[in-house]
C-alpha cells in the first residue's frame, strides 16, 4: 500500500487486526514514509476526550518493535507513552508493530474476545508526532478463522474510496481520516450485532446493538427519531453530520456513554431496552433513552462547541477548564427536556426525572463546599476519582449544572414572557463557536447570556450574567421552588421513607451490610462508624443490607441503638442515636389551576 496515495499527500498508514481474540490482543501497525532522520517520535494519548481522567492507555501495549525498510531497528521509550525510533540512514519507510491488550468493557478503551471487538482510537493508534495533521489510512482486518467469517463492522469512519482494498460501509477493509484527530474520534465495533436505521430531519441514523437482548428495534428507532429530530431543529438545519451511529454494548448491568463527532459508544443494561409488546415507558427504558439523548446533544455541545482549553486537545496531559457545568451540565438538562418536548415522554414523567435530579444534588453536602466551577476544574482528580467521602466533598457538575441550566432557562423565559430562553443561548453558542471552531473562553458564556437577556432587561443583561457567575462560583442552593412556582409547578420536599436514619449509604454484596459512605454530621459519623465497616448487628439482632431499613423502622428518632460492626478483622461496638429521615426527596407536580399567562409560559417550556 502506498502511504502517499491520498491525493498525493504524505499519509500515515495503520492496520489493526484482532490478532488473538482469546488473549484479548489487537495487533496494530503504524507505517510512515520519510521518517525524521534524527529520530521519529510516536505517542499514545493518555486520555480520551469526554472522559476527564488520565487513563494511561500505553500501559496496555504488550509488545512493540520497529523496522526500517524491512530491517529491525531499536525503539527507545522516552516516557510513559512516548517512543522514538532513529531510522537507518536513507530509510524510506518506518513501521511500528505492536500488540494492545484489550479487556476493558467500557466506552473508553478497547475490548476483544471471540464474540466481538471494540476499540476507541486513542487506546490503540499511536500518533506520529509532527504529523498529526496529515491524512491517515487504516486497514481494519477480520480475525482469522471460520468462526469469524460472518463478522461485520460498525463505524462512522469513511471508507477509503478510490484506494485498493477500500472498505464498504459495514465491512472490513481500508478506511480514511483527514488527520489523526479524526482518526481517533470514530470508535469501531466488529462482530455479530443487530443493525437498525432510521431517518431524522433528513439525516441517516443507525444503531448497532451488540450482546444478547430482545430489543424491539422498531420501537427504539421510532423514539430515537423523535429525540434526534427535535435536537437538530433546536440548533437548526443542516445537522453537522450526514450520518450518525449509536454503538451499544448490551450487558446484564451497565450504564455509560461517550460522545464522538458522528457517533456515540454506549454501555447499557438489557433490561433498559424496549421489548415487543411493552406498554408505556418503564424506568429502565427512560434511562436508556436519556443516555442516548445526552450523548446525541454532545454532537453540538462539546464536540463542536468547545471550551477554548480544548482547542486543540492536548492528549498527553490534563486540559483544565472551569466550564464543564456548561458543557456537561447543560447537556444533562437538555437530555431529558428533549424527550418531553419531542413527545417521547409525558410531562409527568419529565417532572419525576427532574425531581430525582434535584434530590440527588440535595443529598450531598459537598454542594455546600465545592462550586460547579471548581468541580469542573478538578474533574481530573476529584469527580472522576471519587472515593467514599465524595458526597461530603464534591458536587456533580453534571447534576447541579443541569439545575443551573434549568434556573437560567426559567429566568430567561419569565423575564421575556416566553420570547427568549436557554435555547437562544445554545443557538448563539452554535453560531459563534460551533460553526466557527472558536473555543468558548472561560468568561465567554456570561457575555452571551447577557446578550440574550439584554433584549428584555434595562441593565443590558448584566444582572442575569452576574447572577449566573455568582451561582457557578458559589455554593448556595438554587431557589428552585420559587423558580418553578412561576411556571405552575408545585415543589414538595419530603422524606423518602418514614424510618429513622443512621446517616449512611450501604454498598453490600451477597447481603453484606458494608458501609460505602458515612454522611457528614449524621448519627453514624458522630458515633465513630466509618466507610468500609461491615454492620453485623443492631441491638443484638443480625443485620443484612436488605434488612436494615426494616430494623430501623421499629425505632423512632432519638433512640439510641447498639451497633456491632467489623472494621477490617476487628469487632467494634458503637452507640448510635438515630435521626429523623431527611426531607431530601423532591416531588414535582403541575398545579391544576393557574393563570393563562403561567400556562403559556409552562407550555413554551415543556411543550404541549
Query: Is 1 inside any structural domain?
Result: no
Residue 539 predicted with pLDDT over 90: yes
Query: Is 320 inside any structural domain?
Result: yes
Question: Residue 7 — pLDDT band, cuts 50, 70, 90?
Answer: low
Q: Do 318 and 442 lie in a common domain?
A: yes
Q: Do 334 and 391 lie in a common domain?
A: yes
User: Distance (Å, rounded) from C-alpha 217 to C-alpha 276?
Assistant: 9
Q: Which of 493, 479, 478 is nearest to 355 (CA)?
A: 493
Residue 464 predicted with pLDDT over 50: yes
Q: Do 73 and 213 lie in a common domain?
A: no
Residue 573 predicted with pLDDT over 70: yes
Question: What is the residue-averaged pLDDT of the chain?
Answer: 96
Domain end, chosen from 459, 494, 529, is at 494
The tens digit of pLDDT for each residue in 180-194 reads 999 999 999 999 999
If you search the block for the grid coordinates 471494540, which residue do you land on?
Answer: 118
Query: Is 591 inside any structural domain?
Result: no
Sign (positive or negative) of CA dihedral 161, 164, 169, 175: negative
Share of the chain above pLDDT 90, in %: 96
Q: Which of 127, 9, 106, 10 is nearest to 58 (CA)?
A: 127
Q: Do 185 and 200 lie in a common domain?
A: no
Which range among 6-20, 307-321, 331-345, 372-386 shows the weakest confidence by mean pLDDT?
6-20
Residue 8 predicted with pLDDT over 90: no
Q: What mean pLDDT do residues 549-562 have?
A: 95
Residue 2 predicted with pLDDT over 70: no
If you search the block for the grid coordinates 427568549, which residue do you land on?
Answer: 420
Q: What mean pLDDT do residues 29-50 have?
A: 97
Query: Is 288 inside any structural domain?
Result: no
Question: Residue 4 — pLDDT band, cuts 50, 70, 90?
Answer: very low
Q: What mean pLDDT do residues 534-541 have?
A: 96
Q: What is the pLDDT of residue 511?
A: 82
Q: Do 331 and 269 lie in a common domain?
A: no
Range of the domain at 220: 194-281
Domain end, chosen from 436, 469, 494, is at 494
How many separate domains does the chain show?
A: 4
Query: Is 372 inside any structural domain?
Result: yes
The tens digit of pLDDT for each residue in 282-331 reads 999 999 999 999 999 999 999 999 999 999 999 999 999 999 999 999 99
DSSP state for residue 80 in the 8-state scheme: T
Q: Do 265 and 136 lie in a common domain?
A: no
The tens digit of pLDDT for each residue in 105-139 reads 999 999 999 999 999 999 999 999 999 999 999 99
Residue 1 predicted with pLDDT over 50: no
Q: Which of 170, 168, 167, 193 is nearest to 115 (CA)?
A: 193
Q: Do 177 and 306 lie in a common domain?
A: no
Q: Do 333 and 402 lie in a common domain?
A: yes
Q: Do 149 and 131 lie in a common domain?
A: yes
Q: What is the pLDDT of residue 6?
A: 63
Q: Could you give the 3-state DSSP secondary structure of residue 470?
A: helix
Residue 443 predicted with pLDDT over 80: yes
Q: What is the pLDDT of residue 3?
A: 42
State the Cα torsion 39-40-44-45 to the nearest 10°: 90
Q: Do 354 and 490 lie in a common domain?
A: yes
Query: Is 77 inside any structural domain?
Result: yes
If you search the block for the grid coordinates 445537522, which residue do you land on?
Answer: 239
CATH of residue 205's domain is 3.30.2010
- Which residues contact residue 587 at a Cβ distance below 8 angstroms, ignoring those fewer than 6 apart? 355, 492, 493, 494
User: Distance (Å, rounded) from C-alpha 25 to C-alpha 99?
Assistant: 6
Amino acid at each position: 500500500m502506498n502511504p502517499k496515495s491520498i491525493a498525493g499527500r504524505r499519509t500515515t498508514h495503520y492496520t489493526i487486526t484482532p490478532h488473538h481474540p482469546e488473549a484479548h490482543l489487537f495487533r496494530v501497525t503504524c507505517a510512515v514514509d520519510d521518517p525524521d532522520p534524527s529520530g521519529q517520535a510516536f505517542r499514545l494519548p493518555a486520555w480520551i476526550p469526554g472522559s476527564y481522567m488520565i487513563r494511561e492507555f500505553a500501559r496496555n501495549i504488550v509488545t512493540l518493535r520497529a523496522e526500517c525498510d524491512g530491517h529491525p531497528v531499536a525503539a527507545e521509550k522516552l516516557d510513559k507513552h512516548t517512543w522514538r525510533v532513529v531510522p537507518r540512514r536513507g530509510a524510506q519507510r518506518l513501521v511500528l508493530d505492536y500488540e494492545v491488550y484489550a479487556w476493558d468493557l467500557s466506552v473508553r478503551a478497547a475490548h476483544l474476545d471471540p464474540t466481538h471487538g471494540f476499540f476507541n482510537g486513542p487506546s490503540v493508534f499511536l500518533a506520529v508526532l509532527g504529523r498529526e495533521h496529515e491524512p491517515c489510512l487504516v486497514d481494519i482486518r477480520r480475525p482469522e478463522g471460520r468462526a469469524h467469517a460472518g463478522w461485520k463492522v460498525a463505524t462512522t469512519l469513511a471508507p477509503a474510496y478510490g484506494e485498493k482494498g477500500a472498505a464498504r460501509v459495514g465491512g472490513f477493509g481500508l478506511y480514511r481520516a483527514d488527520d489523526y484527530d479524526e482518526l481517533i474520534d470514530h470508535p469501531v465495533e466488529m462482530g455479530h450485532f443487530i443493525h437498525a436505521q432510521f431517518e431524522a430531519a433528513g439525516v441517516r441514523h443507525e444503531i448497532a446493538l451488540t450482546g444478547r437482548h430482545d430489543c424491539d428495534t422498531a420501537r427504539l428507532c421510532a423514539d430515537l427519531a423523535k429525540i434526534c429530530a427535535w435536537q437538530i431543529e433546536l440548533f437548526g438545519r443542516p445537522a453537522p453530520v450526514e450520518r450518525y451511529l449509536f454503538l451499544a454494548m448490551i450487558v446484564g448491568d451497565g450504564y455509560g456513554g461517550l460522545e464522538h463527532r458522528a457517533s456515540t459508544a454506549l454501555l447499557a443494561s438489557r433490561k433498559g431496552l424496549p421489548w415487543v409488546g411493552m406498554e408505556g415507558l418503564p424506568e429502565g427504558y427512560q434511562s436508556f433513552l436519556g443516555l442516548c439523548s445526552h450523548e446525541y446533544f454532545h454532537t453540538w455541545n462539546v464536540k463542536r462547541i468547545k471550551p477554548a482549553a480544548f482547542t486543540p486537545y492536548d492528549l498527553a496531559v490534563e486540559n483544565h477548564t472551569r466550564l464543564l457545568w456548561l458543557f456537561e451540565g447543560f447537556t444533562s438538562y437538555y437530555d431529558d427536556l428533549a424527550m418531553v418536548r419531542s413527545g417521547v415522554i409525558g410531562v409527568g414523567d419529565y417532572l419525576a426525572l427532574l425531581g430525582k435530579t434535584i434530590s440527588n444534588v440535595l443529598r450531598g453536602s459537598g454542594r455546600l463546599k465545592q462550586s460547579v466551577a471548581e468541580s469542573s476544574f478538578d474533574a481530573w482528580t476529584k469527580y472522576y476519582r471519587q472515593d467514599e467521602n465524595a458526597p461530603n466533598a464534591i458536587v456533580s457538575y453534571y447534576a447541579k449544572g443541569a439545575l443551573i441550566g434549568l434556573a437560567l432557562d426559567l429566568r430567561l423565559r419569565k423575564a421575556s414572557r416566553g420570547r427568549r430562553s436557554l435555547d437562544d443561548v445554545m443557538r448563539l453558542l452554535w453560531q459563534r463557536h460551533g460553526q466557527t471552531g472558536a473555543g468558548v473562553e472561560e468568561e465567554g458564556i456570561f457575555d452571551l447570556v447577557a446578550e440574550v437577556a439584554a433584549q428584555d432587561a434595562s441593565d443590558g443583561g448584566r444582572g442575569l450574567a452576574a447572577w449566573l457567575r455568582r451561582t457557578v462560583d458559589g455554593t448556595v442552593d438554587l431557589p428552585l421552588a420559587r423558580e418553578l412556582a412561576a411556571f405552575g409547578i408545585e415543589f414538595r420536599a419530603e422524606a423518602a421513607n418514614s424510618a429513622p436514619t443512621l446517616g449512611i449509604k450501604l454498598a453490600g454484596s451477597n447481603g453484606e451490610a458494608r458501609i460505602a459512605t458515612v454522611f457528614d454530621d449524621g448519627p453514624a459519623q458522630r458515633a465513630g462508624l466509618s466507610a468500609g465497616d461491615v454492620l453485623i448487628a443492631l441491638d443484638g439482632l443480625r443485620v443484612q443490607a436488605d434488612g436494615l431499613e426494616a430494623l430501623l423502622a421499629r425505632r423512632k428518632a432519638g433512640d439510641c441503638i447498639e451497633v456491632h460492626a467489623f472494621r477490617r478483622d476487628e469487632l467494634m461496638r458503637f452507640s448510635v442515636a438515630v435521626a429523623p429521615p431527611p426531607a431530601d426527596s423532591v416531588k414535582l407536580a403541575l398545579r391544576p389551576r393557574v393563570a393563562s399567562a403561567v400556562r403559556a409560559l409552562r407550555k413554551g417550556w415543556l411543550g404541549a
